[in-house]
């Protein structure tokens, strides 16, 4: 079995926690009509914040309460600030960068894990799972900062095959082209 990151389950866990706070297991609400109220109160809290309490009081003809409104407004401010910050273009760019880094790290980790953690390893006839392979230290990658205006370079690698388990293929040829000037170079390595 292999763990595959499909995304965050934080929202589901948060909703489950909020429901359990309003309908704890020590009290059996399952056979009563009040369970629906507890679940709806949780949904209102997640969607609207603590304002749902004052709105519920108003609909029932009760005073919403000055302290309740003050506390709800105080709790809502950080939530609105967080939503506003998340909608900024810089925050969206940061999320995309982090997503790309997670994807790259996941691919690198899968390549380093070897046969032991491949998907569907249990369905193979003779998987090599007798010994856990030694770890391969991760490389330390730092950004390269060049003086002057940056240019875009495309490159192509020719190899003897694909990464299979822990076996890396040999690079046989590297070709690169600078897009702006059209200059190109190529290096071949013959075995």
Structure confidence by residue, pLDDT tens digits, 140-162: 777 777 777 777 888 888 888 88
Task: Using the predicted structure, report yes or no on whether residue 1 has a pLDDT greater than 50.
Answer: no
pLDDT of the residue at 114: 59
Average pLDDT score over the chain: 77
- What's the pLDDT at 90? 92
In this predicted model, what pLDDT tens digit does every residue of 37-49 receive, in sequence order?
778 888 888 887 8
For residue 6, pLDDT over 60 is answered with no
Average of per-residue pLDDT across 103-130: 65
2 token code pair? 């292999």
Mean pLDDT, residues 94-116 taken together:
76
Average pLDDT, integer, range 110-139: 63
């Amino acid at each position: 079995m292999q763990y595959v990151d499909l995304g965050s389950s934080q929202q589901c866990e948060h909703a489950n926690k909020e429901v359990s706070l309003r309908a704890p297991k020590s009290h059996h609400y399952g056979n009563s009509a009040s369970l629906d109220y507890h679940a709806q109160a949780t949904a209102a809290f997640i969607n609207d914040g603590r304002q749902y309490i004052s709105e519920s009081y108003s609909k029932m003809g009760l005073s919403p309460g000055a302290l309740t409104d003050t506390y709800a407004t105080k709790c809502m401010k950080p939530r609105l600030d967080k939503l506003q910050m998340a909608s900024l273009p810089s925050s969206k760019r940061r999320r995309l960068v982090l997503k790309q880094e997670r994807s790259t790290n996941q691919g690198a980790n899968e390549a380093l894990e070897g046969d032991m953690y491949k998907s569907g390893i249990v369905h193979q006839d003779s998987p090599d799972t007798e010994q856990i392979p030694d770890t391969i230290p991760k490389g330390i990658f730092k950004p390269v900062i060049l003086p002057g205006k940056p240019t875009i370079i495309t490159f192509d690698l020719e190899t003897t095959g694909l990464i299979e388990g822990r076996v890396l293929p040999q690079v046989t040829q590297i070709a690169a082209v600078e897009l702006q000037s059209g200059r190109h170079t190529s290096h071949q390595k013959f075995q």
